[in-house]
A and B are shown apart, each in its own frame.
Chain A
Amino acid sequence: MIYFIEDAINGILMGSIYGLTALGLTIIFGVLKVVNFAHGSLLMVGMYVAFWTVSLTGLHPYLSLIIVVPVMYGFGYCLQAVVIKPIFKAEKNVREPLTVIIVTTGVWYILDNMTLLIFGPQYRSIQDNPLKGKMIEIGEMMISVPKLWGCIIAIVTAVGVYWFLQKTRTGRAIRATSLDRDAASLSGINQYRIYNMTFGIGTAIAGIAGVTLIPFYNIFPTVGVLFDIKGFIIVVLGGLGSIHGAIIGGIIIGLIESVGPQFMTSTWTEAIVYGLFLLVLFVKPSGLFGVKYDW
């Protein structure tokens, strides 16, 4: 029983980090209406930026956020402005521009392969890691400290993003654009600038997720793929565009993954994850929580 609770808690903590990766994806989707297939790669880039920041400056892993967040925001902003925006403009009159999805897939391949070229295929992890293997003991249970911090950072990020979207002028403009692009333009909002900023925010969130992962996760060029697939599943579970849906969806996946292996082989837990994904798609395509946007 005690192991069950311990696994469940660690699963919830890890799940909230999955939720954080899904959060960036869901926000980009909510505004641009495109599935960003490069999102896992952005997480990977975030992990490398965090890794090199920590390695070169000797900063505490979590303090690397002060560099990772602005760098990733700028990276996402420019990526959208330079690579994706021209496609949007060319497809101005198309309701759901498929070509943009193809472009994000291209970005995924380019980022993963460039990283492979520059840094090689080897697995890296931070040296002199102050959080390495750190556990808190509660009675007989062992809870991972970096995962606990990851969970706290994920929740603070989600609350912060929600507050930003609700209460700030730019946040309102982002919500307006997500609800009706033309009406937003007619209110004086530069739609493409909002896309740039939203992509920047989504990428910065991927960077934050990267920071929470590096204390206990290896860094390698294709690390994003693992999180990519989970991200899509979570976003569908939680409802496309939903902020709290992303976090809760992440926690559900984390729980299934951690508790599942006590009852079955881990191949089965994966089958359950995909099964749940398909079930939600069939029965409640708007996601478990039924709301499309909660912002």
Chain B
Amino acid sequence: MAFLDIKNIDVFYGDVQVIFDLSLNINEGEVVSIIGGNGAGKSTLLRTISGLMNPAKGQIRFEDAAIESLPPEEIVHKGIVHVPEGRRLFSLMSIKDNLIVGAYNERADQYMEETLEEVYEMLPRLKEREAQLAITLSGGEQQMVAIGRGLMAKPKILMLDEPSLGLAPVLINSIFETIRKIADQGTTVLLVEQDVNHSLKLSDRGYVLEHGRIAMEGKAQDLLGDPHIKEAYLGI
């Protein structure tokens, strides 16, 4: 039984269907990438897993319990943590308050102080600036806070939606290094990225999402060598 098991889900915005009969699974400790072009439905998939949206059909099971109809705060409590596209920080709150709010669920709250130290250790820049308002940070710093806030929730699965979006190449490297460290510490990671090269290199497996359907899946290495992927996503 997979750690996270998604079976045949359909997802709609109003009357418009954007995910079609999608199945996907993640094992404990894996790093899995989802790649796909703009509008393929990657963010929608993450929003559905984290409970911001509900599938019209199909099941999502996590650690053998059905979660597809739970509200987001209960899914966080179970250990699935979603770092949304575009950072979505609490703009007029300090870095530190953003991080503290990340630990709001009861499971994480009791370890808040320790987790905060760990996050500061991994992302020392945040400690230097802990009193600064989130809105005043650069894009790279904001992404660090977004990831840090996700870690504060003590994720069993950390889902990252385009963490490298809009960042300079140096920063992209450091973001991927951070994700590497998180994975090495044993956290399962579900990574949505347009930077296919970087993300597949970091991953064990990958799924290719096209028009709301899984078009291809396999070992990350195999996907990196696949002619279709090379042409459509790597531009080689």
Contact = CB atoms under 8 A, between A and B. Distances in A.
A185 interface: yes
Contact of A186 (B84, B91, B97): B84
Interface string B72-110: 110011000110100011111100010011101110110
Most buried by A among B81, B84, B93: B93
Contacts of A188: 73, 76-77, 104-106, 108, 153
Contacts of B50: 186
B42 interface: no
Contacts of B88: 180, 182-183, 186
A189 interface: yes
B101 A172 contact: yes
B93 A172 contact: yes
B205 interface: no
Nearest to A185: B72
A187 B154 CA distance: 11
Contacts of B89: 180, 183
Nearest to B135: A179
Nearest to B86: A183
A75 interface: no
B90 A183 contact: yes
B71 interface: yes
Interface in A66-98: 93
Interface in B10-36: 14
A175 interface: yes
Please tell me the size bucket of the interface on A: 10 to 19
B153 A187 contact: yes
B97 A172 contact: yes
A292 to B, nearest CB: 8
Interface centre among B51, B73, B102, B106 (most CB of A within 10 A): B73
A179 B52 contact: no
B101 A186 contact: no
A180 B90 contact: yes
A162 interface: no
A183 B84 contact: yes
Contact of A189 (B52, B73, B91, B149): B73
A109 interface: no
A186 B104 CA distance: 10
A159 B146 CA distance: 31
Nearest to A291: B92
A172 B101 CA distance: 7
Interface in A260-295: 293
Given A172-B100, A172-B101, A186 B93 contact: no
B3 to A, nearest CB: 20
A31 to B, nearest CB: 13
Interface string B107-130: 011000000000000000000000
A218 interface: no
Contacts of A187: 76, 101-102, 104-105, 149, 153
Interface string A234-275: 000000000000000000000000000000000000000000
Contact of A173 (B72, B92, B104): B104
A78 B73 CA distance: 21
A126 interface: no
A99 interface: no
Nearest to B88: A183
A143 interface: no
Interface string B126-163: 00000000000000000000000100010000000000
Given A173-B104, A183-B90, A185-B52, A190 B97 contact: no
Contact of B101 (A173, A182, A190, A293): A173
A33 B179 CA distance: 36
A176 B76 contact: no
Contact of B76 (A179, A186, A191, A293): A186
A257 B91 CA distance: 37
Given A93-B14, A188-B153, 10 more contacts: A175-B90, A175-B97, A183-B88, A186-B72, A186-B81, A186-B82, A186-B84, A188-B77, A188-B105, A188-B106
Interface of A: 93, 169, 172-173, 175-176, 179-180, 182-191, 293
27 contacts: A93-B14, A169-B109, A172-B101, A173-B101, A173-B104, A175-B90, A175-B93, A175-B97, A179-B93, A180-B88, A180-B89, A180-B90, A180-B91, A183-B89, A183-B90, A185-B52, A185-B73, A186-B52, A186-B81, A186-B82, A186-B88, A187-B104, A187-B105, A188-B73, A188-B153, A189-B73, A190-B71
Interface of B: 14, 50-52, 71-73, 76-77, 81-82, 84, 88-93, 97, 100-102, 104-106, 108-109, 149, 153
Q: Which 6 A-B pairs have the closest CB atoms?
A: A188-B105, A185-B72, A188-B76, A183-B88, A188-B104, A179-B90
